Structure 1
């Protein structure tokens, strides 16, 4: 799927957010500045979270509990050299919230069996355009992606 600006990236995130339920785990992949936090803002919007969503780079985990479901936004970039075992990640993954993980490759051994990977790529010729690819792992996430594809009108069409 393609988005042509930040507003469309937020809209796509919100469409996904409407389909998520407690216990869902989303892994966001993309280079620095690809739009991972922008996409997360859309999910938060769908959950009714009004507080500004910020990148959790320096805090590792930001918790937003005032929405329909709790949202746990994680950035594991600083754990490139380990240290995730002290964070209690399994409590988040097995809890009653929605978990979004950026830079998940640094906690690969702690991830649940099923999750949805979202890869966000900036267009090399236009800094506003994003290509967003969904890679479901598990039947639940395959159904979510099918529903999202049916509901979302790609602005590039």
Structure 2
């Protein structure tokens, strides 16, 4: 990652703010980078990834990879592809070798030539990369304060 703080936190008031933060992160990513998204269902992981895809400049509509396990989005401008993974499903499908399972998906890009974003990625990245950016999205805290709030609390740390 280039030009991005190794750790921090930010309050994102709307889905558009979540996408804008994702776009900012996307601009800082390089081929071979791995991003793990943590947070409960509905926390904004896919919304964040939509912005990240804009920042990377990849083509294709970004949707949850739940039913396909992984989706590849090619670059529009010669940059790295985006491989968007549902690690929960990936870990459950193969039983023990997430890297082997990811390779078996026949993605056109080598993992070193792409940015990998894994929703529910804890337990996967430790096996596919020696370093990764962990982003946690928390929607619960803001809605406890104000049930009408759309806010998410995003925190991140480079490992």
Which secondary structure does the structure 2 equivalent of 1:2 belong to? strand
Residue 118 of structure 1 deviates from its aligned partner by 0.2
RMSD (Å) for aligned C-alpha atoms: 2.1
Are the equivalent residues in 2 in contact too, given 1:18–1:46 (CA < 8 A)? yes
Are the equivalent residues in 1 in contact too, given 2:19–2:52 (CA < 8 A)? yes
Could you list the per-position Cα deviations for residues 6-41 of structure 1 after superposition, in whole angstroms to 9, with x for gaps in the alignment?
A: 000000111111111111000000001100010001
Are the equivalent residues in 2 in contact too, given 1:22–1:97 (CA < 8 A)? yes
1:108 and 1:47 map into 2 onto residues whose CA distance is: 20
Residue equivalent to 1:53: 62
Are the equivalent residues in 1 in contact too, given 2:36–2:122 (CA < 8 A)? no
- Does the alignment pair 1:114 with 2:136? no
Are the equivalent residues in 2 in contact too, given 1:79–1:106 (CA < 8 A)? no
Structure 1: which 4+ aligned runs deviate by more than 6 Å?
Answer: none
Could you list the per-position Cα deviations for residues 65-115 of structure 1 after superposition, in whole angstroms to 9, with x for gaps in the alignment?
A: 1333200000012245451333328x9784211110111134355231110
Residue equivalent to 1:71: 82
TM-score, scaled to structure 2: 0.76
From the superposition, tell whether residues 69 and 109 of structure 1 become closer, same or farther in structure 2 (CA, over 3 Å): closer
Residue equivalent to 1:22: 31
From the superposition, tell whether residues 80 and 94 of structure 1 become closer, same or farther in structure 2 (CA, over 3 Å): closer
2:48 and 2:156 map into 1 onto residues whose CA distance is: 13
From the superposition, tell whether residues 19 and 2 of structure 1 become closer, same or farther in structure 2 (CA, over 3 Å): same
